[in-house]
Amino acid sequence: METATLGGGCFWCVEAVMERLRGVSSVVSGYAGGHVEYPTYDEVCGKQTGHAEVVRVTFDPAVLSYDDLLRVFFTTHDPTTKDRQGNDVGPQYRSVVFTESDAQAEAAVRVRDEIEALGVWDRPLVTEIAPLDVFYEAEAYHQDYYRRNPFNGYCSAVIAPKVAKLRKQYAHLLEG
């Protein structure tokens, strides 16, 4: 198994997308990239910790390649807006790939450049690519949020369209 740590706005959104992919065994919402140890959600939302909301995806690379996982990531959130995803604004919502090896760093740059060259987005990609220092698991109420709250207003308005886009563009990568 391999892990990937990704931030693309609210972790509920990224979690809902990643957990549907074939080969993914777990997705855990959390925080990374900051300077405060064991941050809380309120601290991260206060924009003073340096942390981003991220998910840690555990997956089988024999079933789902890291490159394909990144392609899904780069096309199901907006990687062209700094510190923002829609109405979610702040450094905790930045687009970021935290890498755990040189191979992951090389793949992240390669796939980012591929997506940019394909013209998927009409603006330059601003996704940060940085080595993972430490991952802190978010509070229990953030885990499996969309699955537990599908009719919540935010889930219906923001997450459901991302899941629909995933189903349309990546049906071949989804769990049966």
User: Is 36 exposed, middle or buried (CB count within 10 Å of its CB: 0-12, 13-18, 19+)?
Assistant: middle
CA distance 17 to 3: 16
Q: Are 174 and 166 in contact (CB under 8 A)?
A: yes
Listing DSSP states for 9-57 in one string gives SSHHHHHHHHTTBTTEEEEEEEEESSSSSS--HHHHHTT-S--EEEEEE
Count: domains in the chain = 1
Residue 157: which CATH number? 3.30.1060.10
Is 39 in contact with 92 (CB distance < 8 Å)?
Answer: no
What's the predicted TM-score (pTM) here?
Answer: 0.95
Residue 155 a catalytic site member: no
Catalytic-role residue among 10, 13, 45, 155: 10
Domain extent for 60: 2-173
For 88-137, write each residue's pLDDT tens digit: 999 999 999 999 999 999 999 999 999 999 999 999 999 999 999 999 99
Say whether pLDDT at 22 is over 80. Answer: yes
